[in-house]
Structure 1
Amino acid sequence: MTNNAPRRAVLAAALAAAAATATATTASAPASAADRAAAPNAAPGAAGSAAAADDAPVDYHAWTSYPDWLFGEHRGTVPVPGQRPGLRIARATGTLDYTDPHTGITATWESASWTSPEHTLPQPATELVSSWNAHAPAGTWLQVELLGTYTDGTATPAYVMGRWTAGDGTQDIRRTSVDGQSDGVSSIWTDTFAIDDATAGRLLASYRLRLTLFRQPGSTLTPTVWRLGAMASHIPDRFTVPTSAPSLAAAVELPVPRYSQDIHKGQYPQYDNGGEAWCSPTSSTMVIEYWGRGPSAADMAWVDPSYADPQVDQGARYTYDYQYEGCGNWPFNAAYAATYPDLQGVITRLHSLNDVERLIKAGIPVITSQSFLASELDGAGYSTSGHLMCLIGFTAAGDVVANDPASPTDDAVHHVYSRAQFETIWLRTKRINASGKVSSGTGGVCYLYFPAKPSPAQRRALASVGVTA
């Protein structure tokens, strides 16, 4: 097993709701949910290669450009031009007395906000995951809210999708998801908006994202946000997907560093019980370093010098979600990657391994989320209720080359997995677990990290999967 975190017991309710789909199959939550890769999904994401787009819609939309930031509703915020346009506080327009639920400290923060224009979905969605890229110096933080409209014209609550800061010092709040958000039609499961019952009639038709920036009163500091977006999807339940035909003319493999999560077992148990649950930050670390970025020696001075690969410990600490009690919050991982110079991070869903092939051909590794039994993925040697790994290439026959952090050593991280087996465990939305019950699958969820200024080939590859760089 890659991990055994019991903190996802709350997902039982979400997965039970997921069962009320068109298949009328009763779903049950995994006994333990793993490093957030386990799907909290009512109707998970992307389609298999043979499915038409209308059968499995995935819509990623983001605000990133200077013109993007000019529109919407500004309350004390201002667009910032330049090589990397963004949004920052110009003047405070409100205050908040916030009691941090994880420290018990109450502090007053001044704030400004921006609400995006409404984005109408091409097709109604059952699920949405937001993500953002920002600089948040000590003493600042940000909150992202979803303001949705259902297909009957009624509104969702103002759902908090995350309260995030880059650090965890004495001036900072603790980055956190917010539990207990629901209106009887939809709910928030850590970082994911989900329709409770996709057969009941109401789906998500459109949304706005509200971004609130906070700082200490009287400070001139401000968060600067470069990217704010969301992936919305509506995918029918399925246990299998067709295997896509390989599309590359030859084998390809990107030189992504190899890091094992297993060698960190027992380290810093305050961050999700230590390394055996660190598949998400370990995968993130691999791709961050692939792009030539990473923490400095000074950043990592807190790590015990006897520990190998301290950058993995760094990633675990700074992706940790204090409510979820884990390092696998999807948007927090993307936001962490974007704290390094000139990197962007996006959470989306892909439709098939052909999408991955286009990205890897352009030099972009793909971090994927999946769950499986050992018998379903030859060569893995473990079962998992949720796990992330990094896809770095393909063999000449089209099989998947992966850096799988659930390995005993760094050298052992390199794996080749069957294309058909991998495509199924990654893209399916339903599976039979070790107890013989139905559990959820993540439906093609992935992390994409790429430069702030991608090459033309990288831009084309990203655009082909719906991501504007």
Structure 2
Amino acid sequence: MTAACSLALAAGMLASVPVSAAPAPADRLVSFTRLPLIGGERTGLRLRDGALVLKDGAQRSRAYRGTRYSVGTWTSDPVAPGFGFTQLVASWSATTPRNSWVEVRVRVTGATTGRWLVLGRWASQDKHVRRTSLPGQSDALGRVDVDTWKSATGASSYQLQLRLMRRAGARSASPSVSYAGAVASQLPASAPATSAPGVARGVVLDVPRFSQMVHSGEFPQFGGGGEAWCSPTSTAMVLGYYGRLPAASAYAWAGPRTEPWVDEVARRTYDAAYEGTGNWPFNTAYAASRGLDAFVTRLRSLAEAETLVAAGIPVIISVSFSSGALAGAPISSTAGHLLVVVGFDATGNPVVNDPAASTSAGVRRTYDRGQLERAWLEGSGGTAYVLHDAAHPLPASPGNW
């Protein structure tokens, strides 16, 4: 499920614990697939410069919240990750001019074939359409928990479906989707032994430091800032690293305040049904709209995060931990929190930008490797946002990016 950004505030000191080398267990299974838009089945859509757009002329239509929309649909070929997966999170990159939007759906196959379940309704703006997940969806094979399909029994394959919508009769540009993918996983209940330090020892990336807490009480209609804004604040820090923060004109609506670009990112990632900004693919979809390749995946260890950091790519991770389980954190415990792994010290302990600090000056922290790895792998199954630009290409993939 998505991060709750539920924080209990406290102070602490780093406690160093020796690490032991051990590979991830065989049952920590993760497969990330970028779906070729040139394949699959299209109705009312065409490819233009590698992106799906609505065809000109007559279209199927649907009514949504009192407005009628022209609809085009793309359905992927079935994807079989090669193991019985129990969770799935989709990612996408889309543009949605004026009154247009995109709906992302999934259908899984196990003992039977399930029905189409909506993983998200997304638009880059919020003037016409509420960006939202859809609570309460389920079938005989599983259910949707905010942004994640989940099942206790597992499934063998899945299909994604994209539905592009534009106000019927409008002459504005079509919505477009240039990328869609998903991470499927089957995860053990506990983390493996702490991974050994790897290729990024001594590497710390120059990621700007923003505090979510300086926004406490801001814009209740977008979650209210403070402890609720760990995800957009983390996303904003990585956007800043790549020079892709929104222009001042985009956040002029927020008025004069500290780091108003964080308010803008929070607004553009807000999930109306969830009533929060922690929807994982909504954050990566926003980052993609800022010109980055951005997706949600799961990593198997901090050693994999080191591979990305060594390539110049900071990693946003989702953690949870009980009281005292992450020494040196600005919070004592959390049911769900996001932070940015920006590097590793000379001994392999992770250096992070933790937005839960009370001020931006306190955001940079060094955590014990074993403690953070457990908080991440046990808390969210190793969920990560990977955001990068052309100057920082992904290293060779181990199957999960």
Query: Scaled by the length of structure 2, what TM-score is found?
Result: 0.92
Equivalent residue number for residue 389 of structure 1: 339
In 2, the alpha carbon distance for the partners of 1:360 and 1:381 equals 23
Structure 2 CA distance for partners of 1:94 and 1:36, relative to 1, 3 Å: farther
1:286 — aligned with what?
237
Structure 1: 4+ residue segments shifted above 3 A: none
CA contact (8 A) 2:330 2:356 kept: no
The one-letter code of the counterpart of 1:163 is R
1:407 is matched with 357
Does residue 88 (structure 1) correspond to residue 72 (structure 2)? The answer is no
- What does residue 58 of structure 1 align with? 30
State the shift of 1:459 in Å. Answer: 2.8
Correspondence for 2:380: 442
Aligned counterpart, 1:356: 305
Q: 2:286 aligns with which of 336, 343, 351?
A: 336
Q: After the TM superposition, which residues 118-129 of structure 1 pair with which residues of structure 2 at under 5 Å, given as runs?
A: 118-129=78-89
Cα distance in structure 2, aligned partners of 1:454 and 1:313: 27
1:367 corresponds to: 316
Whether the 8 Å CA contact 1:140–1:216 is kept in 2: the answer is yes
User: 1:56 deviation in Å?
Assistant: 1.4
Aligned partner of 2:186 in structure 1 is 234
Query: Structure 1 CA distance, aligned partners of 2:227 and 2:234?
Result: 13
- Determine whether 1:243 maps to 2:194: yes
Partner SS state of residue 68, structure 2:
strand
Between the aligned partners of 1:272 and 1:370, the Cα distance in structure 2 is: 20
Residue 185 of structure 1: how far off its partner (Å): 3.2
Amino acid at match of 1:222: S
- Give the whole-Å Cα distance in 1 for the aligned partners of 2:391 and 2:106: 29
Change (3 A) 1:285 1:249: closer
Tell me the CA shift for residue 224 of structure 1: 1.3
Q: Give the aligned residue type for 2:381.
A: G
- 1:158 lines up with 2:116 in the alignment: yes
Query: Which residue number corresponds to residue 16 of structure 2?
Result: none
Q: What is the one-letter code of the residue matched to 2:23?
A: A
Give the aligned partner of residue 176 of structure 2: 224
The alpha carbon displacement at 1:404 in A equals 0.1
Find the counterpart in structure 2 of residue 97 from structure 1.
63
Structure 1 residues 392, 330: closer, same or farther in 2, change over 3 A? Answer: same
Preserved CA contact (<8 Å) 2:307 2:395: no
Residues 36 and 315 (structure 1 numbering): CA distance in 2 closer, same or farther, change over 3 Å?
Answer: farther
For residues 187-233 of structure 1, the C-alpha deviation after alignment (integer angstroms, 9 at most, x for no partner) is 111111000x33xxxx2111111101000112242111111011110
CA contact (8 A) 1:58 1:232 kept: yes
CA distance in 2, matches of 1:69, 1:400: 37
Q: How big is the shift at 1:249?
A: 6.7
State the Cα distance separating 1:62 from its structure 2 match: 1.3
Check conservation: 2:5, 2:334, Cα contact below 8 A. no
**Alpha-carbon distance in structure 2 between the residues aligned to 1:259 and 1:465:** 32
1:454 offset after TM fit, Å?
A: 5.0
Q: State the 1:300 CA deviation.
A: 0.9
Give unpaired runs (5+ residues) of structure 1.
1-7, 12-32, 38-47, 100-105, 429-440
Give 1:304 deviation, angstroms.
Answer: 2.1
State TM-score, norm by structure 1.
Answer: 0.79
- Residue correspondences, number: 385
Letter in 2 for 1:460: P
* Secondary structure of the corresponding residue to residue 112 of structure 1: strand
The CA RMSD measured in Å over matched residues stands at: 1.8
Contact persistence 2:341–2:352 (CA under 8 A) = yes
Instruction: Evaluate the alpha carbon distance shift between residue 36 and residue 71 of structure 1 in structure 2; reply closer, same or farther with a 3 A threshold.
Output: farther
Paired position in structure 1 for 2:216? 265
Query: 1:418 — aligned with what?
Result: 368
Q: Does 1:345 align with 2:280?
A: no
The equivalent position to 1:256 in structure 2, one of 165, 189, 207, is 207
1:464 aligns with 2:398: yes
The offset of 1:49, in angstroms, is 5.3
Give 1:13-162 correspondences, 5 Å limit: 34-35=4-5, 50-52=23-25, 54-63=26-35, 68-81=36-49, 85-91=50-56, 92-99=58-65, 106-150=66-110, 152=111, 154-162=112-120
The residue type equivalent to 1:459 in the other structure is L
Deviation per CA, 1:62-87, whole angstroms, max 9, x where unpaired? 12xxxx22221110111122xxx211
- For residue 358 of structure 1, what is the amino acid of its counterpart? T
Deviation track 1:287-327 (CA, whole Å, cap 9, x = no partner) reads 0111111111111110121x110000001111000000000
Question: Relative to structure 1, is the Cα distance of residues 129 and 271 closer, same or farther in structure 2, using a 3 angstrom cutoff?
Answer: same
